[in-house]
Amino acid sequence: MSDLSDFQPRASRFAVVGHPVAHSKSPQIHQAFASQCGLTLEYQALALEPDGFEQGLRNIRAGGFAGVNVTVPFKQAAWRLSDRLSERACTAQAVNTLSFEDEAIVGDNTDGVGLLRDLEQNLTVTLARSRVLVIGAGGAAQGILQPLLTAGPAELVIANRTGVRAQELAMAFAGAGDTSGVALEDLAQTAFEIVINATSTSLAGEVPVLPQGLFAPGALAYDLVYANTPTAFLRWAHDAGAGHTADGLGMLVEQAAESFWIWHGQRPHTRPVIAALRGAKL
Ligand code: NAP
């Protein structure tokens, strides 16, 4: 018979921290996962001041939280503050999932695997041997490059408004696959099977300045930004010849599912949650 005197109930307070964060869907997503898995948990959206991340995190940890998701603009700060890092967080140099252990803050990054699962499992896209274009070289691009390259594309081009950032990223990930970095204005009229917008432009209803002829027949245009109507980039891509378009809602739910797995050891079903969010017009 096991000795129940050693039994410790799992802490069940979680949050997403960011600035701003009130718009976050993470509380809804984690509650939907919890009810699927028969768990009871508390999950809040907590706004921290841009210069108050470290102190805010200390307060949250002292408040008995077991972990937090981290969103814009704190992913790099969370990476710096982690005592231990998963390999993927180490590579991405950004953290979106923190677990508070007794003696350590453990950082992970689930954005990349979230995108990969949305592309390969939900959208049934084949990355292997495809030509992939990633537009943007910020924190989000940094988090998705390693998993994309691991899937074995024929080539992966990174294009960014500030060209040098794209070139630096390409150099940093050169060991993981065939990748190159260019400035947006130097983007050749090559056709890609998968074009991923990892810039924040759609949030402002804008589109990066891009050449025509980017989409191979049947190509997918994917925007990391999600919205209840097609984003500016997806509207542009549709007119520019993309065969399919998808926004980042699936990635959001898939990255949350991976965080849920890290914290609770259970894998929730993501498709009903994506459908419910889509049906509720986000
Ligand atoms: P970030 O670090 O601030 O990077 C922003 C990127 O957008 C940079 O490459 C920047 O280029 C580019 N950019 C901004 N304005 C531009 C413009 N007018 N024209 C061309 N390029 C422009 O942001 P991030 O953390 O990478 O996040 C990017 C987006 O991904 C955000 O909107 C975020 O919401 C989304 N995201 C979604 C998920 C999801 O689960 N769906 C997960 C993570 C992130 P420069 O380098 O030239 O400034």
pLDDT tens digits along 197-244: 999 999 999 999 999 999 999 999 999 999 999 999 999 999 999 999
Cα-to-centroid distance, 197 and ligand 1 (Å): 8
Is 75 catalytic? The answer is yes
Report the distance separating Cα 219 and Cα 239, nearest Å: 13
Which residues, judged by CB distance below 6 Å to any ligand atom, belong to the binding site of ligand 1?
72, 111, 114, 136-141, 160-162, 165, 198-201, 203, 206, 208, 224-226, 248, 251-252, 255
Point out the ligand 1 atom lying closest to the alpha carbon of residue 136.
9
pLDDT at 5: 43
Check pLDDT > 50 for residue 177.
yes
- % of the chain surpassing 90 pLDDT: 91
The answer to whether 115 touches 109, Cβ cutoff 8 Å, is no
Nearest CA to ligand 1 atom 1: 138
**The one catalytic residue among 25, 30, 75, 165:** 75
Which residues of the chain form CATH 3.40.50.10860?
4-109+255-276
- The domain defined by 4-109+255-276 folds into Rossmann fold (3.40.50)
C-alpha neighbours within 13 Å on the C-beta side of residue 12: 11
The CATH label, of 3.40.50.300, 3.40.50.720, 3.40.50.2300, 2.60.40.1180, for the domain at 113-250 is 3.40.50.720
Check pLDDT > 70 for residue 2.
no
Report the distance separating Cα 14 and Cα 80, nearest Å: 20
Cα-to-centroid distance, 29 and ligand 1 (Å): 23
Report the distance separating Cα 181 and Cα 156, nearest Å: 9
pLDDT tens digits along 92-128: 999 999 999 999 999 999 999 999 999 999 999 999 9
Which residues of the chain form CATH 3.40.50.720?
113-250
pLDDT tens digits along 54-89: 999 999 999 999 999 999 999 999 999 999 999 999
pLDDT at 11: 58
Instruction: For residue 217, give the nearest of 249, 242, 246, 254 by alpha carbon.
Output: 242
